[in-house]
């Protein structure tokens, strides 16, 4: 992996470490592919380029995405008739669907019927994990959309127009960045007693805007100095058109690579909130609250802590790997010319 | 130089204003009667509502309240909890040393482990030592700290029964007793920091090892170890210092979940208990304190960087 990069350049880039509020520290290498139109590759072609581990990561992310959609379809459209256990049904209690008392037990080990066993309230942990993925996916989708659209536009814009607008916008964002994001989030969520998944996701998205703006501004600055932008200016193209046709399409690939790494951080932040009991309301399952509930019975059944922890860690790892891959790929394209 | 310092200080003050204003307006924006919000579900003695109204100047306009609150805050008075009747500044004074100890310990552990790993990775770049440590670093960066904490509890408290799963012995009770209760929380916080630091040291050092003065040191016949740790590590200390500063600020916030998990009576746990009892004024006080610390630490790091790195000093 290391041999394919120019170590000197990379090391130099990584010297610039910026804090970014929510989201990983930007290590300076989320800049690069300066306006090179890449040879278009099919999705399959990109997939084949990936190293084995990144392929596995992509595969895992697709599973998580599919689970969240499946869980949502099951509850919203099919009223629980799809083949997946009810995540909130206590298997040792009364089952309104059958009119009988269940024969399950709490803290069971994995079996054919319950692939991940049951939790302390005798609920099917596999079903809960599948439904929990919906929470993580929602937070990621909403916050990344927020970041890419608002942060990306803002950054591209000020990087291109420069001047007072840039100073002002970046100063304002720096203030937001100066806040320890997790603490601000805790204060917000607890004071206003927010428990709605979309509101929480939106707040997380809002707090991650500065990081996205920084990344896109840095790229936009570099691209604005390129010949094709000057050429467009020289023939009198409108600034808005230049922004739309030249700057943004070139900022986007790097920004999306950053978005994947930022998404990993967002999952951890939501997991932390859930773990502290400050995210979605129980009994709705999320990976964080599954871990929190299971840790009380860590002696009796460690598996119940292990499974959601592994699922969450794998997701974070996969996002990091895939994000790194796309970032490296972008860097390559830029340097090969 | 003076210009740089002046600029940094102006920015610091502006940011502090913004941060305090933001936190203060959070409480002011809460719906409903502030007195009800502040008292929450706590007991109500007769006359307390009037007293709160008077203490907090609730009848004044927002800006006036902010200015007087800020004045008090600067002089160390962050108000008091009407639920526990304890001044917020007292809570902070009692809890801060614990959190600070955790933060220092975990950064110390992270640096001690990270530097040799990073040096090894750079020295053996592309060899199996490098790829193994790099993979380990990738994984370490991806495990949320509370999951690390739970696994440490499972391993050392449940399985091996060597260390307590929670509880806290103060440093004044003896270093050994304190270590017993602080080593697990500090390690859970240290893992991700360690990964970050070692990645930085590795990439920094790969660049340094290409320099001419390393070649000349080698030509003089100095041992590899001497060159690595005496000559090559020095330029990395600057970036390491920066990232440590940033990590320290981030840890002040990051300890919240670990302190809750291990029942460590630090600032983070105080914040969580305040959240659970909906003690708005304590939430506000601790939030503003942590935020201010965070801003100040980052500024100090900026300044130190400017002082030590002549390249920045010149521009």
Dihedral, CA atoms, B131, B134, B139, B144, nearest 10 degrees?
170
B19, B138, B243: residue with CB nearest A179: B19
pLDDT at A40 (0 to 100): 64
Helix axes A303-335, B145-152, angle to 10 degrees: 140
CB distance B204–A182 less than 8 Å? no
**A272 contact residues in B (CB cutoff 8 A):** 144, 146, 257
For the segment A175-203, the average pLDDT, to the nearest whole number, is: 84
Alpha-carbon distance of A309 to A319, in angstroms, equals: 16
Q: What is the pTM of this model?
A: 0.86
Q: Point out the residue among A2, A305, A313 whose CB comes nearest to the CB of B125.
A: A2
Residues of B with CB below 8 A from A3's CB?
126
Domain ranges of chain A: 132-335
pLDDT digits (tens, 9 = 90+) for A179-190: 778 888 888 888
Q: Which residue has the higher pLDDT, B227 or A2?
A: B227
Using DSSP, state whether A124 is helix, strand or coil: strand
A95: Cβ–Cβ under 8 A, 6 or more apart, which residues? A89, A101, A102
Distance from CA of A184 to the nearest CA of B (A): 7
Tell me the shortest Cα–Cα distance from A167 to chain B, in angstroms.
13
Query: Contacts of residue B138 in chain A, CB cutoff 8 Å?
Result: 317, 320-321
> Span A129-136, mean pLDDT?
94
How large a percentage of chain B has pLDDT more than 70?
A: 96
Question: Which residues, other chains included, contact B240 with Cβ-Cβ below 8 Å and sequence gap of 6+?
Answer: B111, B115, B197, B200, B201, B204
A316:B134 CB<8 A: no
Pick B58 or A205 by higher pLDDT: A205
B284: chain A residues, CB-CB within 8 Å: 187
Q: What was the ipTM of the complex prediction?
A: 0.86
Q: Min CA distance, B34 vs chain A (Å)?
A: 12
Q: Which residue of A has its CA nearest to B281?
A: A191
Quote the CA–CA distance of A321 and B207 in Å, as a whole number. Answer: 24
Helix, strand, coil share (%) of chain B residues, nearest 5:
80, 0, 20
Which residues in chain B touch residue A19, judged by CB atoms under 8 angstroms apart?
Answer: 246, 249-250, 298
Contact A333, A33 (CB under 8 A): yes
Averaged pLDDT, A251-265: 91
Q: How many CA atoms lie within 13 A of A282 on its CB side?
A: 13
Yes or no: is domain A132-335 CATH 3.40.50.170? no
User: Which range is least confidently modeled, A186-195, A253-262, B255-264, B300-309?
Assistant: B300-309
Mean pLDDT, chain A, rounded, equals: 82
Mutate to test the interface with B, among A167, A168, A174, A175 (most CBs of B within 10 A): A175
Which helix (H) or strand (E) is B39 found in, with range? helix B34-39
Q: Does residue A103 have a pLDDT over 70?
A: yes
pLDDT at residue A11, as a whole number: 38
| pLDDT of residue A275 exceeding 90 | yes
What integer pLDDT is reported at residue B311 of this predicted model?
55
Most confident of the following: A174-178, A261-265, B175-179, B276-280: A261-265
Size of interface A-B (CB pairs under 8 A): 147
Shortest distance, CA B216 to any CA of chain A (angstroms): 19
**Residue A283, preceding peptide bond in cis (omega within 30° of 0):** yes
Question: Which pLDDT value is given to residue A3?
Answer: 37
Name the residue with higher pLDDT: A205 or B302.
A205
Read off the pLDDT band of A18 (50, 70, 90): very low
CA-based nearest distance B295→chain A, Å: 6
Q: Tell me whether residues A180 and B291 touch, CB distance under 8 A.
A: yes
pLDDT recorded at residue A205: 92
Tell me the range of A74-88, A145-159, B272-286 where mean pLDDT is highest.
A145-159
pLDDT exceeds 70 at position A14? no
Q: Which range is least confidently modeled, A78-87, A187-196, A200-209, B58-67? A: A78-87
Contact residues on chain B for A25, CB-CB shorter than 8 A = 196, 243, 246
Residues of chain A contacting B154 with CB distance shorter than 8 Å: 298, 302, 305
Q: How confident is the model at residue A337 (pLDDT cuts 50, 70, 90)?
A: very low
User: Please, which pLDDT band fits residue B223 given cuts at 50, 70 and 90?
Assistant: confident
On chain A, the residues whose CB falls within 8 A of the CB of B126 are 2-3
Tell me: pLDDT of A73 over 70. Answer: yes
Q: Is residue B152 over pLDDT 90?
A: yes
- With a cut of 60, say whether residue B150 has pLDDT above it: yes
> Is the CB of B147 less than 8 angstroms away from the CB of A309?
yes
Output the pLDDT for position B209. 83
Mean of the pLDDT values across residues A56-75?
93
| Listed range (B69-83, B126-140, B228-242) with the worst mean pLDDT | B228-242
Yes or no, beta carbons of A182 and B256 under 8 Å apart:
yes
What pLDDT does A16 receive? Answer: 38
């Amino acid at each position: 992996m290391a041999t394919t990069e120019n170590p000197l350049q990379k090391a130099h880039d990584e010297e610039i470490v910026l804090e970014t509020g929510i989201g990983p520290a930007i290590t300076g290498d989320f800049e690069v592919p300066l306006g090179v139109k890449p040879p278009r590759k099919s999705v399959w072609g990109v997939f084949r380029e990936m190293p084995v581990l990144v392929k596995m990561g992509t595969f895992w992310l697709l599973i998580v995405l599919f689970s969240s959609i499946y869980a949502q379809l099951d509850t919203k459209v099919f009223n629980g008739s799809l083949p997946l256990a009810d995540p909130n049904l206590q298997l040792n209690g009364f089952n309104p669907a059958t009119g009988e008392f269940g024969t399950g037990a709490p803290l069971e080990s994995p079996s054919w019927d319950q692939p991940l066993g049951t939790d302390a309230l005798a609920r099917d942990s596999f079903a809960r994990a599948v439904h929990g993925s919906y929470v993580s996916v929602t937070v990621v989708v909403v916050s990344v959309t927020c970041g890419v659209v608002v942060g990306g536009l803002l950054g591209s814009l000020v990087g291109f127009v420069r001047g007072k607008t840039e100073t002002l916008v970046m100063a304002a964002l720096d203030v937001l960045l100066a806040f320890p994001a997790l603490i601000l989030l805790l204060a917000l969520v607890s004071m206003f007693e927010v428990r709605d998944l979309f509101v929480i996701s939106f707040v997380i998205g809002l707090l991650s805007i500065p990081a996205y703006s920084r990344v896109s501004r840095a790229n936009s600055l570099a691209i604005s100095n390129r010949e094709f932008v000057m050429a467009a200016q020289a023939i009198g193209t409108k600034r808005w058109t230049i922004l739309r046709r030249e700057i943004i399409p070139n900022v986007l690939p790097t920004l999306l690579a950053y978005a994947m790494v930022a998404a990993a951080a967002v999952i951890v932040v939501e997991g932390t909130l859930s773990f502290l009991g400050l995210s979605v309301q129980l009994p709705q399952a999320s990976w964080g609250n599954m871990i929190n509930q299971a840790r009380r019975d860590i002696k009796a059944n460690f598996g119940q802590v292990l499974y959601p922890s592994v699922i969450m860690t794998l997701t974070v790892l996969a996002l990091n790997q895939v994000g790194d891959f796309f970032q490296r790929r972008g860097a390559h394209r830029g340097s090969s010319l | 130089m003076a210009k740089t310092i002046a600029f940094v200080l102006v920015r610091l003050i502006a940011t502090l204003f913004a941060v305090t204003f933001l936190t203060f307006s959070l409480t002011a924006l809460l719906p409903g009667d502030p007195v009800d919000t502040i008292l929450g579900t706590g007991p109500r003695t007769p006359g307390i509502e009037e007293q709160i109204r008077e203490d907090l100047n609730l009848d004044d306009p927002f800006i006036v309240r902010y200015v007087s609150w800020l004045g008090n805050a600067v002089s160390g008075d962050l108000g008091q909890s009407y639920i526990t009747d304890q001044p917020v500044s007292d809570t902070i004074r009692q809890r801060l040393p614990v959190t600070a100890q955790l933060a220092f310990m975990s950064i110390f552990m992270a640096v001690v482990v990270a530097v040799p790993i990073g040096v090894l990775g750079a020295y053996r770049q592309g060899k199996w030592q490098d790829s193994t440590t790099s993979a380990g670093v990738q994984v370490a960066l991806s495990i949320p700290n509370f999951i690390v904490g739970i696994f440490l509890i499972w391993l050392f408290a449940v399985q091996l029964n060597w260390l307590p799963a929670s509880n806290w012995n103060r440093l004044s009770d003896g270093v050994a007793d304190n270590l017993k209760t602080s080593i697990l929380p500090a390690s859970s916080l240290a893992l991700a920091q360690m990964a970050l630091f070692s990645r930085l040291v590795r990439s920094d050092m790969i660049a340094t090892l290409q320099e001419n003065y390393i070649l000349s040191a080698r030509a003089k016949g100095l041992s590899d170890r001497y060159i690595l740790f005496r000559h090559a590590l020095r330029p990395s200390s600057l970036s390491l210092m920066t990232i440590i500063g940033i990590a320290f600020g981030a840890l002040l916030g990051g300890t919240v979940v670990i302190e809750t998990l291990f029942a460590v009576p630090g600032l983070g746990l105080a914040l969580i208990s305040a959240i659970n009892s909906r003690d708005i004024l304590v939430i506000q006080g601790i939030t503003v304190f942590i935020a201010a610390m965070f801003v100040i630490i980052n500024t100090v790091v900026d300044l130190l960087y400017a002082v030590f790195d002549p390249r920045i000093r010149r521009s």
